[in-house]
Amino acid sequence: MARHWLLLASAFGLTACATMPTSNATLAPRFAPDCQAIGSFLSSAVGEGRVVGASALVWQDGREVCFENAGLSSREDNRPFARDTLVQIFSMTKPVTGVALLQLWEQGKFGLDDPLYWHLPEYEYLQVATAIGSDGNLVLRDPLRPPTVRDVMRHTAGFTYGDSGEPADNVWNRLEPLSADNTLAEFSERMAQVPLLADPGTRWIYSAGVDVQARLVEVLSGMAFDDYVAENIFTPLRMTDSAWERDRADIDRLARIYIADEHGSLNPMPREEWLTPNFYGKPMTMGGAGIVTTVDDYMRFARMLLNEGELDGRRILQPATILLMATDMLDPRISMEDRMWLPSKGAGGFGLNVFVRNSPPMSAEENRGTVDEFFWDGLPSMLFWVDPRQDMAVVFATQKVPFDNAMHHDFRDAVYGAEYSGVPPE
């Protein structure tokens, strides 16, 4: 409870007689992850053809407790899925973008409840698309309120990613905001012309809003987004293998992405499809995807979050900001039906660019985890999470599409045990 009172006092200007616990280790009964079970899971996943290769890294109580790996990063080249294998993390880029933007929030560059258009004027005249009229044109109306920066960070702005089956897709498909040929500035100008799917604050809609965040970082900092992240996150955290822009020689360390067909067989994605656009010199540096990294590098980012914003003497964010980021901010009035597939992640909600668990697992079918953990994942079945109550961070790396939540369920069983309750102590 002290952690949550400190969040309220620091983030919202309240006064509370609360202090931070001296150690995360005091928050819950300690358990030791079963490294043998984790290794066995990875080996079986490879042996059963669920993945071509994978690795897992677990950090707990201030030290590495498990690194396990199995299989190949490239079946065609017979390369093992090694500790220094480079992986494309897709949406696990999003928490990095959120940290970058929150650094600027700490500097007073914006307010979380500022209307977005105060900082990106192209979004001032957004409208909501409600239908397609008999003349083939969209039926539009003004939103009940403009989206705020907080909305953009919690996926409640009403933005789309396309493929929603809703009327606004017509404009998205015509303008192609996320074309790799666009700069972030060009993306934002086009994105602002795409109507909203819903009034801000009324639905959780996974969207290109994190790329809007990346453009905000550029405007507020005066730096190119990737340069800002490199200078303010990657360099101080010594994430030397993390970047959007890659040298062609990196292909020799880069894991291939494999596609599971209708029979479950894994086939390599064609090279022109599986390489991040920056390999081809494209200008788009997305906020929602695109980072190439290793399990060790991403663990340094996860450890910073676990350690309340600091790692090895370098402070990235203040502790209260990490707590704010990892607090469920979804209005309870947003029904489960209005949260897309978010409930499939577990019993929880959403903070700023991360899922937040706020209840223990309700059934054996739900992924194991601890109350107050926060995490996100990536399209090729990538996953990381931070579990403050167990003083633990975990990175799971593989390169398989479509996204395989069943594999995450089984991996979490290997880490926690299938009977783990996830209930914090009284």
Question: Is residue 183 within 8 Å of residue 284, measured between CB atoms?
Answer: yes
User: What single DSSP character describes residue 86?
Assistant: B
- Strand pairing of 348-350 and 355-357? antiparallel
Which residues, including other chains, have CB under 8 Å from residue 271's CB and lie 6 or more apart? none
Residue 295, SS3? helix
Residue that the structure tokens 């109580």 belong to: 61
Question: Is residue 110 within 8 Å of residue 116, measured between CB atoms?
Answer: no
Q: Which domains does the chain have, with CATH numbers?
A: 34-101+227-416 (3.40.710.10), 109-222 (1.20.58)
Question: Is residue 21 within 8 Å of residue 27, measured between CB atoms?
Answer: yes
Report the side by side order of strands in the sheet with 63-74: 79-80, 63-74, 53-60, 392-398, 382-387, 374-378, 355-357, 348-350
Nearest to 52 by CA among 408, 399, 404: 399
Distance, in Å, from the CA atom of 168 to the CA atom of 20, rounded to the nearest integer, reads: 46
User: What single DSSP character describes residue 231?
Assistant: I
Q: E strand or H helix at 129, and its extent?
A: strand 128-132
Residue 108, SS3? coil
Range 416-421 contact pairs with CB under 8 angstroms and sequence separation of 24 or more = 416/31, 416/33, 416/368, 416/369, 417/31, 417/34, 417/37, 417/368, 418/364, 418/368, 420/31, 420/361, 420/368, 420/370, 421/360, 421/361
Distance, in Å, from the CA atom of 111 to the CA atom of 13, rounded to the nearest integer, reads: 14
Distance, in Å, from the CA atom of 315 to the CA atom of 237, rounded to the nearest integer, reads: 9
Residue 66, SS3? strand
Show pLDDT as tens, one digit a residue, over the chain (426 residues): 334 333 333 333 333 333 333 344 344 456 889 999 999 999 999 999 999 999 999 999 999 999 999 999 999 999 999 999 999 999 999 999 999 999 999 999 999 999 999 999 999 999 999 999 999 899 999 999 999 999 999 999 999 999 999 999 999 999 999 999 999 999 999 999 999 999 999 999 999 999 999 999 999 999 999 999 999 999 999 999 999 977 777 888 999 999 999 998 999 998 777 777 777 777 779 999 999 999 999 999 999 999 999 999 999 999 999 999 999 999 999 999 999 999 999 999 999 999 999 999 989 999 999 999 999 999 999 999 999 999 999 999 999 999 999 999 999 999 999 889 887 655
- Strand pairing of 400-401 and 258-260? parallel
